[in-house]
Structure 1
Amino acid sequence: MIKDIHKDAQSRMHKSIEALRHNLVKVRTGRATSALVDHIKVQSYGSDMPLSQVASVAVTDARSLTITPWDKQMVSVIEKALINSDLGLTPNTAGMTIRINIPALTEERRRELTKVVHSEAEDAKVAIRNIRRDANQQVKDLQKDKQVTEDDVRRSEDDVQKMTDSAIKDVDEVVKAKEQELMAV
């Protein structure tokens, strides 16, 4: 039973790290990537759809994205969605093609984005610590039910702490890599 608790905690910690990676993709680095617009929803035929399902998104060069809608009527809708998004980018429309130019980041903006990265990392660390707490509580509940001994509880807490330390180290590595990417000029 303890092994199942540990497996569950390990998988949840891994998911927290993956969620952090996914969230950090949205942090703009000055380089164009189609992942910048992945989270944008577009009103299409009465429902909100991801941008990637109504248009093709291509990286034309290091500083620009090209969005080509599959339906001519979607151009203005996509343009509005981009303007209303949290990206702070202005789309340029030419016929059926929407181009987004990504400006170079200023030093001040890089520092602000670094703070955002650290905030996301702290959220991931809190999630990992909560997973540790839950796993330890589940093992203590087993002890109350007299299904495991006190020694098993201590060993389990040590194992869960090792998993937690490893996961937090992974979070720090992800943050360090993103910081280097942000600070590269």
Structure 2
Amino acid sequence: MTPEAILKNTQSEMQKALDHTLHEFSTIHTGKASPAMVENVTVEVYGSNMRLMEVAAITTPDSRTISIQPWDKGALKPTEKAIQTAGLGLNPIIRGNTIICPLPELSGERRKEMVKMASSLCENGRVGIRAARQEAMTALKQASKDKEISEDEQKRGEKEVQTLTDDFVKKIDQSFKDKEAELLKV
């Protein structure tokens, strides 16, 4: 495997880790409603577990409310129960064929809990990036050992992988700082 191919693969893996972390950040709410907050809640319907986004239309009629409209009336109660038990701090209300989830005001304590959650997600992202880095370093060493690349190419590749790692860790850290500021802003 060439150093370029290893680098391209590593960059792709690191980008996946970053994207996943950013998506996870979007599920932590700050008092502003977003469909991402509930779309991955697991609902037990039709004898199996499905994600909420697969059984209902999710909208935000205003910045403090999430509206969920299941495509099947039979999914109304299971959806309500799934949201209640998901640990999101939401209290769903059934109105006709729609479930309304007003977002509660965030207390200082709840905001700090959410910052801790975001910090944990940030660390998971960093772990994903470091795992991609380790994989690349191992691949470079193996290619050098198998005489596919020279020792100079290996060293150059390792420097590039480290630069890539530093860049992605900075991006995740900056995203965390932004999310932290957003969460703590009253």
Normalising by structure 2, we get a TM-score of 0.94
- Structure 1, residues 94-134: CA drift from partner, whole Å, max 9, x if none? 22221111111111211121111111111111221121111
- 1:78 aligned partner: 79
**Equivalents in 2 of 1:127, 1:78: separation in Å?**
32
8 Å CA contact 2:39–2:58 kept in 1: the answer is: no
Asked if the contact 2:92/2:99 (under 8 Å) is kept, the reply is yes
| Correspondence 1:22-41 to 2 at 5 A | 22-41=23-42
Q: Which residue of 1 aligns with 2:156?
A: 155
CA offsets 1:20-72 (integer angstroms, 9 cap, x no match): 01111111211111111111122222222222232221212111111122222
Q: Which residue of 2 aligns with 1:96?
A: 97
Task: Identify which range, 21-30 or 50-59, moves more after superposition.
Answer: 50-59
Task: Return the offset for 1:17.
Answer: 0.1
- Distance (Å, rounded) in 2 between the aligned partners of 1:147 and 1:76: 60
The residue that corresponds to 1:126 in the other structure is: 127
Long gaps (5+) in structure 2: none
Q: CA deviation at 1:182?
A: 0.9
What SS does the corresponding residue of 1:42 show, helix, strand or coil? strand
CA distance in 2, matches of 1:142, 1:106: 54
Larger deviation, residues 10-19 vs 84-93: 84-93
Q: What is the match of residue 68 of structure 1?
A: 69
Secondary structure in 2 matching 1:172: helix
Per the alignment, in what secondary structure is the counterpart of residue 99 of structure 1? strand
Q: Does 1:182 align with 2:183?
A: yes
Contiguous gaps of at least 5 residues in structure 1? none
The 8 Å contact of residues 41 and 51 in structure 2, kept in 1 or not, is answered as yes
Q: Percent same amino acid at aligned positions?
A: 38
Structure with the larger RCO, 1 or 2 (CA within 8 Å, 6+ apart): 2
Moved over 4 A (4+): none
Equivalent-residue separation in structure 2 for 1:179 and 1:151 (angstroms): 42
Q: Give 1:134-173 correspondences, 5 Å limit.
A: 134-173=135-174
Tell me what 1:10 maps to: 11
Instruction: State TM-score, norm by structure 1.
Output: 0.94
Segment drifting more, 3-12 vs 68-77: 68-77
What count of residue pairs does the alignment treat as equivalent?
185
Q: Is the 8 A contact 2:141 2:154 kept in 1?
A: yes
C-alpha distance in structure 1 between counterparts of 2:78 and 2:84, whole Å: 10
For residues 126 and 72 of structure 2, the distance between their equivalents in structure 1, rounded to whole angstroms, comes to 43
Cα deviation, residue 155, structure 1: 0.8
